[in-house]
Structure 1
Amino acid sequence: MGDRIAAAAYVSDDATDAALRGGLSEFLGSLQIRRGGIRAAAKVMEQTISPRVLIVDVSGVDDQLGELDALAAVCAPDTKVLVIGERQDLAFYREITRHLGVDEYLAKPLTRDNASTLIGPYMAGVEPERASVRGGRVIAVCGVRGGVGATTVAINLALQIADSTHGHVALLDLHLRGGQMATMLGITPVAGLRNALERPGDADALLFERLAIPVSDRVRLLAADEGFETDPAPTAAGIAHLLALLCQRFNAIVIDMPMPPSPTERQALLLARHALLVLGPDVGSLHNVELMRRMLASLIGGGRTMTVLNRYGAAGALKRDLIKEGLGTEPDIIIPDLPKPLNRAANLGRAALRDSPVLQRALAPLTQEIAGVALRRKGGLLRRVFGR
């Protein structure tokens, strides 16, 4: 019998392994990730003390209930058992959590967000809080420097989330001076966003309904067009109030963030479920991305941050091996250089997503990570129960 380890995971595929490593990055020093699934876990547990947290993959196992029952027999009663699998029926979830002592079940495909949100608290020694009300999730899109295409990513991601989930999505441009979202979409902002962010006591749901301009049937834009001679002074309370109202109305809120954010604007990052670091294939981006990573890790944790390499393959750009060396890992999402469709879309005031299948495919993994769209099958009820 050996010393008890903090946590172990037994997985059966590369995608699940990557999701755990990405979503639980701050816990990798105390988490052992191995291959073999639940059967390998049971064999190890027969010979050693079970860890405080045990994550097992039951994919591809015929008698999943029997294997879980056998695992329970060799696990310490205080071990937190978290199960990953392909089944999405509610009866299975109830059976294993109510009668077999499983603490949590996560249906595949496992995302970094689910790993961070549902497994991370167990790793930290506390059970995750259960949301008492439904609300939209906040996605902060952060360009590591000017000109990397963060606004383009934000606009097209919002539209793809709406198209894929049929949910309601808000686009929020926090660049109160010089913001480009409205221009790129051929929209003229209405006055009022600055005042609402500066004086939240004057803002209510009806005001935000007026400020939200339709982009499509299920996407709305909130933006300002303040002059460069002005000095907007949004407050943290104003940003928090705005996002609280938007989370009641929309399933997702995609924010185009000023970078680096002011102390006030960091309030939006504190409320973000996901933070996307958009970088270009250049030395300047690689220099800034690590600074941004550290800032975001201190605010929301590393498991909620993803790197999006935009304009990959542009003329004169860095090659992939140099980008990987600079980042210390592969980018999470890679979007190729698409000058013709993007420039044409910007000049026409419409989203490039509608005319570029290449962009649609490049954004698809990001949309799945954020919205869990691969789960929108017959198991819809189970998807809501599991909070994904």
Structure 2
Amino acid sequence: MPAADGMMAPATAPGASTGERLPVLAFLCDEESETTFRTGLSGRTGAITVRRGTIRTAIAALEREPTPHILVVDLSGEENPSELLDRLSAVCTPDVTVLAVGDRSDIGFYREIQHEFGIAEYLFKPLTRDNVARLFGPHITGQREEAAQRGNRVVAVCGVRGGTGATTVAVNLAVLLADSTRSHVALLDLHLRGGSAAMMLGVRSTAGLRVVLEDPDRVDPLFVERAAVPIGDRLRLLSADEPPEADPAPKAAGALRLLEILRNRFNLVIVDLPWPPGPVERAVLEVARHRVLVFRPDVAGLRDAAAARAMLTAKSAGDGPILLVQNGAGAPGSLETAMVLQALGAAPDITIPHLPRHLPRAADLGQPAVRGCAPLRRALAPLAQEVNGTRQAVGNGLLGRILGRWAR
């Protein structure tokens, strides 16, 4: 179902603000299935936690608890298991291995949940000890370690020139996604000197990010977790605060290694990317699912937005969608909407209004503006839907209802 603390205190896994990840957690809705499951895995039950309930119980529990390494869910009696599996993927870290049981025996259903939702194995009821041991056993003993990659999207947010508010967009987009969709989100600030993501979130950067980018051979998932700062239970920040005299030498290989680890650990990775791009930034752009260009509605901003879009359209800069975000619309001295449309040839994908009272104050207080500013939530909701892979009108479907609530 997978596609991701500071040095002063060891970090926990995403979503694991309290407690450690369980090796195996199973939710089964009837006593017979629970008994067969336990006896089929006899000798391994010391590492297995079984609770009574269905996939709905699992979703509710994992909104509050750390994701286990292996999760077993019961789909019995559900008319629309696809919707529930989609909801489950939003509350689990992407590296989880999901096993399922249910009361449907048709091969089409089996293939659907494997190919569309990354379910590692499925057993239909009544369970037998032999099937549990033979088909679930290898996953639980670690003999099969492949995990489906689902939802591990990278979103690169770039300001086409200094002062466009790209960091504001990246920070608040990450917070909105983590809060409203309950996805596990990583926010990566690649401004190694003078970055402001940590300041906007009211935390301190660590020294780990520079090490990760300069020496990829030293990096492993545990190192990255310890370098990440928790922002609530669903968001982690990786940033640096190098002094002006520092001379960091990040490598493209380091950025790609870091993204590989984050994509295996988080549903979404939001990257606040310096512009113009050097080798490291180009490496990120090439793997990004979405490239978000933030500009101000003035002559220089429109010129640089058009140039940046032309550069990203080139094959060498990746092939993800390019989204234009106009920030500060309606500010004194800014260009009229008609002039923006004429310069770009189309309307911006997202327009954020001029918010002179909300944004500076939130940044100074170290509080994400999106949590207290309804106009910013409304403006960012379509962008959150787009990068989360659910481009639809607010109000339609589960995510639409969630984002609609946050947009009010």
TM-score (normalised: structure 1): 0.62
For the structure 1 residues 246 and 262, does the alpha-carbon distance in structure 2 shift closer, same or farther, using more than 3 Å as the test? same
Q: Is the 8 A contact 2:156 2:270 kept in 1?
A: yes
Structure 2 gaps of 5+ residues are 1-79, 84-107, 109-115, 117-146, 400-408
Deviation at 1:135, TM superposition (A): 5.0
Which residue of 1 is the match for residue 199 of structure 2? 183
Q: Is the 8 A contact 1:293 1:302 kept in 2?
A: no
For the structure 1 residues 261 and 378, does the alpha-carbon distance in structure 2 shift closer, same or farther, using more than 3 Å as the test? closer
Q: Is the 8 A contact 1:277 1:305 kept in 2?
A: yes
Question: What letter is aligned with 1:147?
Answer: G
Number of residue-to-residue matches in the alignment = 260
Which residue of 1 is the match for residue 382 of structure 2? 365
Which residue of 1 is the match for residue 343 of structure 2? 326
Question: What is the DSSP-based 3-state SS (H/G/I as helix, E as strand, rest coil) of the residue aligned with 1:147?
Answer: coil
Cα distance in 2 for residues equivalent to 1:348 and 1:359: 17
Q: Write out the 4+ residue segments of structure 1 that deviate beyond 6 Å after TM superposition.
A: 88-91
Deviation at 1:372, TM superposition (A): 3.4
Deviation at 1:133, TM superposition (A): 2.6
Cα distance in 1 for residues equivalent to 2:253 and 2:324: 29
Q: Is the 8 A contact 2:214 2:250 kept in 1?
A: yes
Structure 1 gaps of 5+ residues are 1-87, 92-97, 99-105, 107-130, 380-388
Which residue of 1 is the match for residue 177 of structure 2? 161
Which residue of 1 is the match for residue 11 of structure 2? none
Deviation at 1:89, TM superposition (A): 8.4
Q: How does 1:244-263 map to 2 (within 5 A)?
A: 244-263=260-279
Q: Alpha-carbon deviations, 1:131-164, whole Å to 9, x = none?
A: 9533510000010110010000001111111122
Cα distance in 2 for residues equivalent to 1:240 and 1:140: 13
Cα distance in 2 for residues equivalent to 1:254 and 1:211: 16
Identical pairs, percent: 52
Say which of 139, 157, 162 aligns to 1:146: 162
Cα distance in 2 for residues equivalent to 1:355 and 1:146: 25
Which residue of 1 is the match for residue 249 of structure 2? 233
Which residue of 2 is the match for residue 356 of structure 1? 373
TM-score (normalised: structure 2): 0.59
Cα distance in 2 for residues equivalent to 1:374 and 1:267: 26
Deviation at 1:165, TM superposition (A): 1.6
Question: What is the DSSP-based 3-state SS (H/G/I as helix, E as strand, rest coil) of the residue aligned with 1:277?
Answer: strand
Question: What letter is aligned with 2:295?
Answer: L
Q: How does 1:1-388 map to 2 (within 5 A)?
A: 133-134=149-150, 136-298=152-314, 299-300=316-317, 304-373=321-390, 377=397
Deviation at 1:374, TM superposition (A): 6.7
Cα distance in 2 for residues equivalent to 1:166 and 1:133: 18
Question: What letter is aligned with 1:271?
Answer: V
Cα distance in 2 for residues equivalent to 1:90 and 1:293: 37
Q: Is the 8 A contact 1:272 1:300 kept in 2?
A: no
Cα distance in 1 for residues equivalent to 2:389 and 2:288: 17
